[in-house]
Amino acid sequence: MAMGGAFPFQWPEGPADPVLDDVTLPPLPTAAPDAGVAAYYADAADVHAMHMALPDFAAALAAMRREEEEAAGIRLVHLLMSCAGAVEAADHAGASAHLADAHAALAAVSPTSGIGRVAVHFTAALSRRLFPPTPSPSPSPPPPAPHAADADRAFLYHRFYEAGPYLKFAHFTANQAILEAVQGCKHVHIIDFSIMQGLQWPALIQALALRPGGPPSLRLTGIGPPSPPGRDDLRDVGVRLADLARSVRVHFSFRGVAANRLDEVRPWMLQVSQGEAVAVNSVLQLHRLLADAPSSGDARAPIDAVLECVASVRPRVFTVVEQEADHNKPGFLDRFTEALFYYSAVFDSLDAASGGAGDAAAEAYLEREICDIVCGEGAGRRERHEPLWRWRDRLGRTGLAAVPLGANALRQARMLVGLFSGEGHCVEEAEGCLTLGWHGRPLFSASAWRAEENNQSDSRSRSSGSEESNISCSS
């Protein structure tokens, strides 16, 4: 057999199979749609449509959750205000019931939202007011020393400075007003009502170093609380500022005045010299002096004593930055309501400034203010914020005249806030003053004032009996 080519295949020969020959195969059935198959394809179409609709469904679900949370937030606000109303009416049982409901309602509000975070602090403050801690029968640790509390406050203040645009706006606007007021003066004396860590002054020292015609001789008097034994915090601040001034060739001297209260400072302690251009600076300090005057008829209210002291040194400029709020109302419910909505806006703006990350220390700084507003009464309450129009009336009665903050200050303040905060913050001009706001609501106001020309108070006394720190340097 040849191996090449195709292998021949044949059916075996023989008669055809009679069975197959006699059978007729039925025709193939006509194709008809199967019910199961149709249902499968229908289901597949529904699944496809459902997947196509998932984004809309998710958006609707998110919107529904936002509405639920908004409703829960509104209910929480009403519960807190009802509790405050009961507190004002001296209804302890009703206030306790509303407070318990508020604690339960907190669970339905996101702790990351502005109202959620601020409600936690207001609820805690109400709890502290209604149920103040009772003394323990067992020996308890002594309360922190005043200098420890001051150090803690200074730390929180610094974190609050870093977290948002508020103090940067305050320092920049005040510095701009001071620079314009002392333009061309050879001897400048700045009196800072709360020196803290001296965060405001490096920028001003550097600006004076670049002044056309050369920098002036600069004196800085910083007022702050007494230091603990073995330390001199005011001197430490002065040393750091003196080092900076030396590096930019500004003749600089620093003097620290230690005082527990601002109204303890007298004009002679400030040692203002003849021929000096005086600038007085107060950032978030004056509202703490608004306590009522002592009962004795010849005593003055703290704010009156301090403003008379300011007028007596005849400053070229007196820069004032305060919270744009009304937390000094006599009625507790009005004060509570105003504070609740004010700090809700502040927390929202702080959240935007931090990119949603938040800052626990900065919030702790605000929490202390909230606790004082809610829990403090009488002379013990320090956070007595008032709106700008009241400060206008009060400062005007003391013999101080308003100095308009110009268009240049407005433009630069807007640039500064834009660099250091998120969207929603705004700087506006109002009758020569500047306000920093959040979505149109003013939160902080900055204004400038000067002594009236007819103020003839003698401010040249050089004697001093106060606790002080002196530092000087020259290039």
What is 404-463 written as a DSSP string? Answer: ---HHHHHHHHHHHHHHS-TTEEEEEETTEEEEEETTEEEEEEEEEEE-TT---------
For residue 426, pLDDT over 60 is answered with yes
Q: Which two tokens stand for residue 54?
A: 């998932």
Domains of the chain with CATH codes: 62-131+329-381 (no CATH), 148-324+385-473 (3.40.50.150)
- Pairing mode, strands 317-323 and 277-283: parallel
What is the reported pLDDT for 129?
95
Q: What is the pTM of this model?
A: 0.80
What is the reported pLDDT for 1?
46
Res. 461 pLDDT band, cuts 50 70 90: very low
| Most confident segment among 136-145, 181-190, 289-298 | 181-190
Helix 92-105 crosses helix 114-130 at what angle (to 10 degrees)? 150
More confident residue, 44 or 400: 400
For residue 457, pLDDT over 50 is answered with no
Res. 464 pLDDT band, cuts 50 70 90: very low
What is the reported pLDDT for 16?
47
Q: Which two tokens stand for residue 443?
A: 């939160």
As a whole number, the mean pLDDT across the chain is 83
Task: Give percent of the chain above pLDDT 70.
Answer: 75
